[in-house]
Structure 1
Amino acid sequence: MFYFVVLQKYMKNNIMLLDMNFRSMRKNAERKNAQ
């Protein structure tokens, strides 16, 4: 049970990191298109 909770937390952190990376990539792409 404890292992499952840790795994869930780890997955949530990874998803948040992926989301942040995706947002910054999209911002960079928009900036390049604007130039």
Structure 2
Amino acid sequence: MNVAVLGASGYVGSHLVPALVAAGHHVRAASRRPEFLEAR
């Protein structure tokens, strides 16, 4: 499934993105502070 996560560098997003990727989903992440996003 394709999933877009807004606020990916925040508390919820930082836990949600790895869980979605581990479950096999394709994730697009957006954040106000992209420097806090890591390649996952």
Report TM bin, short chain. Answer: 0.3 to 0.5
Query: How does the TM-score come out when normalised to structure 1?
Result: 0.38
Task: Give 1 or 2: higher strand fraction.
Answer: 2
Structure number with higher relative contact order (C-alpha < 8 Å, ≥ 6 residues apart): 2
